């Protein structure tokens, strides 16, 4: 972009400008705001928002506001938008950025709870993130500031580079393409995080080749991005069958897409199934059992379907965590196989526990969490069995007993262990003895106390537990471990910089998904409409063209909206832009493209930032 245009934008960034904020549960507002002057020193990186995609996760944050895991409890407002592409206006040399750089910003900033201002660890803090945790940083602000210290913080938290600089784009790549780097990374990471346990206990990661794959509630935009990544795999690694459930209207749209046509041409069996069909489960079972199931819509019905069709040892990806805290997955755990000795049982059971290598590393390792707290529950009636477990623990292991008084009586017998009397605190690992209702109830009490990435195993098995989706998705990301467990569970990943960089460097064309657009001043209307109707596709805000109305991506709609706006003032500029772009949409059958973006910018009289 021309340096003079950058300077002009930087001057505007000092002045009051608008942005969209969450201001209360279910409440969005377009608010006048300004950046602090410290933004323009060597401590700040100033950016201009170019575009932002509406994400279904935004809707959860809007509904929950300060109850959301990423929004500070004392927030009066937070800037919205994390699927964004930005233009750097001011950058200290130490940042490694230059004015004029176009960047995708890694949205995950903290893998542990922190104060989002100081980034100091805080039990009252949040999992700080772009578009959820800040006043002065969000994709739906006109201008933003990123403290330079954030670059190191994000790297130290395990998310990699904060900024993904765009270089050498293919000529077709659009602003929308770049704003999709975040959902691409989320989907790519979810596939990477998918895992199954082999018979020898080793982990196999990624989509199993030639598997059966189901997307339940799978006509969402994220499911389509996920399937698009799957379709790009070598033929030998693609699934043998894909089942997608959704509404008839969305399935009809999906049936006509090139994505589905291409998969079928390659020999993949693709079944599009009405989610309301009375025999849906029967149809799914005829295709399955499925090695991998994505729950793309959070409902008890869909969670029950996932459990009913998953293959033994398969993976359920808890992809869309529930807002409702009382819905989730019913898991039936088989009876545990008896071992010759208590010592054998204890050693094997502890080895079944498994954890991610780090909060942001999808690979896993066996055994209790180093330095973590292990809770032993249900051993009150079996003191010898409890001793067998304590004898199997390494020196220094932190341990607690759920039954009052047990720890005190055992502390003297096991001086090398670090007993804690606090059996009500946060837990990294848990072994639950007994089965049936006792084990079920013990797990229900334990689940809210699990640390992120925790592991739980059932020494006797033969129980049925209820795993709450909201907790497993947002807070704990825990795992139920052991050979008696029927399936593994994965959550959608927190987007990693390395995965976003793939879309920035070698973008996948996702413009076909764009169904509606809006300028910044009409994005609240767009977000509300999408939340209410849940239409198929992506919805994109062009932040630099603020007066553009919310309009469906079709030539006829562009022209009709231009006539409605008339030709005077700011509305006239928006009308002119829509009329400039309509012929291109008509030529391409209503498909979004970079050329449509360029024509909108030209009609608006604004320099296109990728030119």
Cβ(383)–Cβ(342) below 8 Å: no
Provide mean pLDDT across the span 48-62: 93
Same domain, 200 and 311: yes
Give the tokens for residue 213.
Answer: 């794959």
Structural domain that includes position 522: 510-611
2 burial (CB, 10 Å; 0-12 / 13-18 / 19+) is: exposed
Same domain, 233 and 287: yes
CA dihedral 307, 309, 314, 315 (to 10 degrees): -60
Percentages (nearest 5) of helix, strand, coil residues in the chain: 35, 25, 35
Angle at 216 between CA 452 and CA 463, to 5 degrees: 55
Choose among 587, 565, 589: nearest CA to 577.
565
Q: How far from chain centre, in Å, is Cα 554? A: 30
Same domain, 339 and 316: no
Same domain, 160 and 202: no
Name the strands in the sheet holding 427-432, side by side, starting at the edge strand that comes first in the sequence: 418-419, 398-401, 373-377, 427-432, 450-458, 479-481
Domain assignment present for residue 493? The answer is: no
Domain assignment present for residue 481? The answer is: no
Is it the case that residue 405 has pLDDT exceeding 90? Answer: no
Cβ(161)–Cβ(106) below 8 Å: yes
Which of 138, 167, 196 represents a domain boundary (last residue)?
Answer: 167
Is it the case that residue 238 has pLDDT exceeding 80? Answer: yes
Give the tokens for residue 487.
Answer: 């399936």
Q: What is the pLDDT of residues 516-535, one digit of tens each?
A: 999 999 999 999 999 999 89
Same domain, 158 and 21: yes
Count the neighbouring beta carbons within 10 Å of the beta carbon of residue 82.
30
Domain assignment present for residue 279? The answer is: yes
Work out the mean pLDDT of the chain and round it to a whole number. 94
Provide mean pLDDT across the span 380-404: 91
Q: What is the pLDDT of residues 153-171, one digit of tens each?
A: 999 998 999 999 999 899 9
Choose among 127, 212, 51: nearest CA to 495.
127
User: Cβ neighbours of residue 132 under 8 Å, at least 6 residues apart?
Assistant: 61, 68, 70, 71, 78, 80, 82, 126
Q: What is the pLDDT of residues 277-330, one digit of tens each?
A: 999 999 999 999 999 999 999 999 999 999 999 999 999 999 888 878 899 999
* 519-536 core/surface letters (b: 16 or more CB in 10 A; e: else): bbbbbbebbebbeeeebb
β-pair type (241-246, 212-216): parallel
- Which residues are paired to 489 by β-bridges? 316
Is it the case that residue 251 has pLDDT exceeding 80? Answer: yes
DSSP 114: B
Is it the case that residue 200 has pLDDT exceeding 90? Answer: no
Angle at 405 between CA 401 and CA 409, to 5 degrees: 90
User: Cβ neighbours of residue 537 under 8 Å, at least 6 residues apart?
Assistant: 221, 513, 514, 515, 516
Same domain, 39 and 159: yes
Same domain, 201 and 263: yes
Q: What is the pLDDT of residues 421-454, one digit of tens each?
A: 665 689 999 999 989 999 999 999 999 999 999 9
Choose among 590, 447, 538, 470: nearest CA to 187.
538
Domain assignment present for residue 80? The answer is: yes
Provide the terminal-to-terminal Cα distance of the chain, rounded to the nearest Å: 7
Give the tokens for residue 34.
Answer: 């300004």
Provide mean pLDDT across the span 34-58: 95
Same domain, 279 and 415: no
Domain assignment present for residue 111? The answer is: yes
Quote the pLDDT of residue 229.
Answer: 93
Domain assignment present for residue 486? The answer is: no
CATH code of residue 35? 3.90.180.10
Is it the case that residue 349 has pLDDT exceeding 80? Answer: yes
Count the neighbouring beta carbons within 10 Å of the beta carbon of residue 480.
21
80 burial (CB, 10 Å; 0-12 / 13-18 / 19+) is: buried
Provide mean pLDDT across the span 363-372: 94
SS3 for 344?
helix
User: What's the rounded Cα separation, in Å, for the pair 15 and 35?
Assistant: 8
Backbone angles phi, psi at 421, to 5 degrees: -85, -10
Domain assignment present for residue 325? The answer is: no
Which of 284, 300, 320 represents a domain boundary (last residue)?
Answer: 320
Provide mean pLDDT across the span 195-212: 92
Report which secondary-structure segment, H or E, holds 516.
strand 514-519
Same domain, 259 and 362: no
Give the tokens for residue 305.
Answer: 């379907």
Provide mean pLDDT across the span 602-609: 93
**DSSP letters of 452-512?**
EEEEEEESSEEEEEEEEHHIIIIII--EEESTT-S-EEEEPPPPPHHHHHHHHHS----GG
Choose among 418, 609, 611, 507: nearest CA to 9.
609
Quote the pLDDT of residue 402.
Answer: 86
CA distances from 499 to 160, 178, 190, 490, 495 (A): 10, 13, 11, 18, 7
Quote the pLDDT of residue 423.
Answer: 59
Same domain, 206 and 229: yes
User: What's the rounded Cα separation, in Å, for the pair 302 and 223?
Assistant: 15
Give the tokens for residue 239.
Answer: 């699934």
Choose among 301, 286, 270, 330: nearest CA to 489.
330
Cβ(558)–Cβ(575) below 8 Å: no
CATH code of residue 376? 3.40.50
CATH code of residue 244? 3.40.50.720
Same domain, 384 and 515: no
Same domain, 31 and 162: yes
111 burial (CB, 10 Å; 0-12 / 13-18 / 19+) is: buried
Domain assignment present for residue 327? The answer is: no
DSSP 342: H
Domain count, the chain: 4
Q: What is the pLDDT of residues 318-330, one digit of tens each?
A: 988 887 889 999 9
């Amino acid at each position: 972009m021309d340096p003079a245009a950058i300077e002009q934008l930087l001057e505007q960034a000092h002045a009051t400008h608008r942005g969209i904020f969450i201001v209360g549960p279910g409440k969005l507002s377009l608010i006048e705001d300004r950046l602090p002057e410290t933004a323009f020193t060597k401590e700040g990186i100033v950016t201009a928002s170019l575009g932002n995609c509406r994400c279904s996760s935004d809707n959860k944050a809007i509904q929950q506001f300060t109850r959301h895991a990423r929004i500070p409890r004392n927030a009066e407002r937070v800037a919205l938008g994390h699927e964004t592409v930005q233009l750097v206006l001011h950058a200290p040399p130490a940042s490694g950025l230059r004015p004029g750089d176009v960047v995708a910003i890694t949205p995950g900033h903290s893998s542990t709870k922190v104060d989002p201002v100081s980034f100091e660890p805080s039990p009252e803090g949040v999992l700080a993130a772009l578009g959820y945790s800040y006043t002065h940083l969000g994709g739906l602000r006109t201008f933003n500031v990123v403290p330079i210290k954030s670059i190191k913080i994000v790297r130290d938290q395990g998310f990699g580079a904060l900024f993904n600089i765009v270089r050498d784009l293919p000529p077709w790549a659009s602003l929308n393409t770049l704003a999709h780097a975040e959902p691409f990374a989320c989907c790519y990471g979810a596939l990477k995080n998918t895992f199954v346990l082999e018979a020898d206990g080793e982990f196999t990661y990624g989509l199993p080749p030639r598997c059966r794959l189901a997307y339940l509630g799978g006509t969402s935009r994220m499911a389509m991005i996920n399937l698009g990544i799957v379709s790009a795999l070598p033929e030998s690694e693609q699934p043998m069958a894909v089942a997608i459930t959704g509404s008839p209207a969305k399935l009809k749209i999906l049936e006509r897409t090139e994505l589905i046509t291409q998969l079928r041409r390659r020999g993949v069996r693709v079944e599009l199934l009405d989610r309301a069909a009375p025999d849906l489960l029967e149809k799914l079972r005829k295709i399955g059992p499925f090695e991998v199931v994505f729950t793309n819509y959070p409902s008890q019905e869909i969670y029950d379907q996932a459990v009913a069709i998953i293959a033994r040892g398969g993976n359920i990806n808890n992809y869309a965590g529930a807002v409702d805290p009382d819905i989730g997955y019913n898991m039936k755990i088989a009876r545990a196989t008896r071992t010759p000795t208590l010592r054998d049982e204890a050693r094997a059971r502890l080895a079944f526990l498994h954890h991610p290598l780090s909060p942001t590393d999808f690979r896993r390792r066996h055994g209790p969490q180093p330095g973590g707290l292990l809770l032993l529950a249900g051993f009150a009636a079996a003191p010898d069995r409890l001793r067998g477990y304590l004898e199997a623990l390494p020196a220094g292991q932190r341990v607690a007993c759920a039954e009052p008084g047990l720890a005190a009586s055992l502390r003297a017998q096991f001086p090398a262990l670090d007993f804690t009397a606090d059996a009500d605190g946060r837990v990294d690992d848990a072994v639950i003895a007994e089965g049936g209702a006792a084990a079920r109830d013990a797990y229900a009490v334990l689940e809210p106390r699990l640390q992120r990435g925790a592991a739980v195993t059932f020494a006797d098995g033969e129980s049925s537990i209820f795993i709450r989706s909201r907790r497993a998705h947002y807070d704990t990301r825990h795992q139920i471990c052991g050979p008696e467990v029927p399936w593994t569970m994965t959550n959608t990943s927190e987007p990693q910089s390395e995965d976003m960089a793939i879309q920035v460097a070698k973008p996948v064309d996702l413009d076909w998904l764009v169904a509606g657009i809006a300028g910044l001043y009409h994005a609240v209307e767009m977000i509300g409409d999408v939340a209410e109707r849940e239409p198929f596709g992506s919805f994109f805000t062009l932040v630099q063209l603020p007066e553009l109305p919310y309009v469906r991506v079709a030539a006829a709609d562009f022209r009709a909206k231009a006539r409605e706006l008339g030709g005077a003032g700011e509305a006239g500029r928006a009308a002119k832009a829509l009329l400039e772009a309509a012929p291109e949409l008509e030529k391409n059958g209503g498909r979004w493209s970079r050329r449509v973006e360029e024509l909108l910018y030209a009609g608006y009289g604004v320099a296109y930032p990728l030119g």
